[in-house]
């Protein structure tokens, strides 16, 4: 009896938005796995110097192309083996996580910030401004992202930061379109009119009244944007236009690997596996976020 009363009381308190979100997110096993993996990579990246006994640049010339520890000739000093100049692969992978997460963060924050601003302006200003902005976005969308990134990197020159800028530009239209669409739907709602009538200025309307209500799709896009950014940055690194050697970026670690494919499978296998798992984790988390944040999916 007392139990029933307690549950009744508990049910009458509506869960906060964060609690509700966590409730839905927790149900999605894939999203949880993805989230845990990302946290693990993040922690490893943060404490890379403490975790690894070697430096990612130190070349152990006597141990060139040592196989992984469990294979014949492998050493536990180098658990995943060494590369063509004797650098410890595990160390480089852990340090590489830093670069991939950094580039992901840089790309997502750049395109999210810029894209949201431009989208807000387009959706709010309407008319000629809107048309011009949207046509410009169409042009960016018309080009394959890697091709556009290549063109931009050709102008800016190769390098990790330039690659991040290039990738951020290619993903700008997604954020602009999402923000613009939600701004247009939200602007016609009563609460915005009420705010305008009570004298709120343009900036207050745009950033404080409307923007918070457009956040859900932007968060989902940002999470998926992470995976795209990491993938494209790795591709640019692989073809030699992203992070430059000897930096331990996962993509550029693979760029010379084709030469060693006959002799050293471990040089080829592990960096790519890290890219795949990290991108997969972000995609799983993005799917989970979408399900948890999308009101249409809620029962």
Partner 1 sequence: MLNFFLKRIGVVIPTFIGVTLLTFSLIRLIPGDPVELMAGERGIDPARHAQLLAEMGLDKPLLVQYWNYLVGIFHGDMGTSLVTREPVVKEFFTLFPATLELGLCAIIIAVLIGLPAGIIAAVRRGKVTDYTVMGMSLTGYSMPIFWWGLLLILLFSVRLGWTPVSGRISEMFWVDEVTGSMLVDAFLSDEKGALLSTLHHLILPAIVLATIPLAVIARMTRSAMLEVLREDYVLVARAKGLAMPLVICVHALRNALIPVITVIGLQVGVLMAGAILTETIFSWPGIGKWLLDSIRRRDYPSVQGGILLVSCLVILVNLTVDLFYGVVNPRIRHNR
Which residues of the chain form contacts with partner 1 (CB under 8 A)?
Answer: 135-136, 138-139, 142-147, 150-151, 154-155, 227, 231, 234-235, 238-241, 251, 254, 257-258, 261-262, 265, 268-269, 271-273, 275-276, 279-280, 283-284, 287
Handedness of CA 181, 184, 187, 190 (dihedral sign): negative
Residue number with CB closer to partner 1 (206 or 266): 266
Alpha carbon distance 233, 238 (integer Å): 8
Please, which residue, 97 or 211, has the CB nearer to partner 1? 97
Give the nearer residue to partner 1 in terms of CB position, either 6 or 131: 131
CB of 236 to partner 1, least distance (A): 10
What is the nearest approach in angstroms of partner 1 to the Cβ of residue 287? 8
Q: Cβ of residue 149: shortest distance to partner 1, in angstroms?
A: 9
- Say how many C-beta atoms besides its own lie within 10 A of residue 147's C-beta: 10
Nearer to partner 1, 124 or 238 (CB): 238
Nearer to partner 1 (CB atom), residue 78 or residue 238? 238
- The CA distance from 102 to 110, in Å, is 12
**186-191: long-range contacts, CB 8 A cutoff, minimum separation 24:** 186/210, 186/213, 186/214, 187/123, 187/124
Closest approach, Cβ 103 to partner 1, in A, equals 14
Alpha carbon distance 149, 172 (integer Å): 12
The CB-of-268 to partner 1 minimum distance in angstroms stands at: 5
Whole-number Å distance between alpha carbons of 93 and 112 = 28
How far the first Cα of the chain sits from its last, in Å, is: 29
């Amino acid at each position: 009896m007392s139990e029933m009363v307690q549950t009744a009381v508990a049910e009458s308190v509506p869960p906060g938005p964060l609690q509700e979100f966590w409730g839905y997110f927790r149900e999605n096993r894939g999203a949880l796995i993805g989230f845990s993996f990302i946290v693990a990579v993040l922690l490893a990246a943060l404490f890379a110097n403490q975790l690894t006994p070697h430096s990612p640049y130190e070349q152990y010339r006597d141990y060139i192309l040592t196989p992984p520890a469990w294979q014949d000739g492998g050493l536990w000093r180098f658990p995943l083996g060494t590369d063509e100049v004797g650098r410890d692969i595990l160390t480089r992978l852990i340090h590489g996580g830093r670069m991939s997460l950094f580039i992901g963060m840089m790309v997502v924050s750049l395109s999210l910030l810029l894209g949201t601003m431009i989208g807000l302006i387009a959706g709010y200003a309407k008319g000629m401004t809107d048309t011009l902005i949207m046509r410009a976005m169409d042009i960016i969308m018309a080009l394959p992202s890697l091709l556009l990134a290549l063109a931009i990197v050709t102008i800016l020159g190769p390098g990790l930061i330039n690659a991040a800028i290039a990738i951020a530009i290619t993903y700008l239209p997604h954020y602009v379109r999402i923000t613009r669409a939600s701004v247009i739907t939200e602007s016609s709602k009563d609460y915005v009119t009420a705010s305008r009538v009570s004298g709120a200025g343009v900036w207050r309307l745009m950033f404080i009244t409307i923007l918070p209500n457009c956040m859900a799709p932007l968060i989902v896009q940002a999470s998926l944007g992470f995976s795209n950014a990491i993938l494209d940055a790795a591709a640019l690194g692989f073809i030699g236009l992203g992070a430059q050697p000897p930096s331990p970026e996962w993509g550029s670690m693979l760029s010379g690997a084709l030469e060693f494919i006959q002799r050293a499978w471990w040089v080829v296998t592990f960096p790519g596996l890290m890219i795949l798992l990290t991108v997969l984790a972000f995609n799983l988390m993005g799917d989970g976020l979408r399900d948890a944040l999308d009101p249409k999916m809620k029962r």
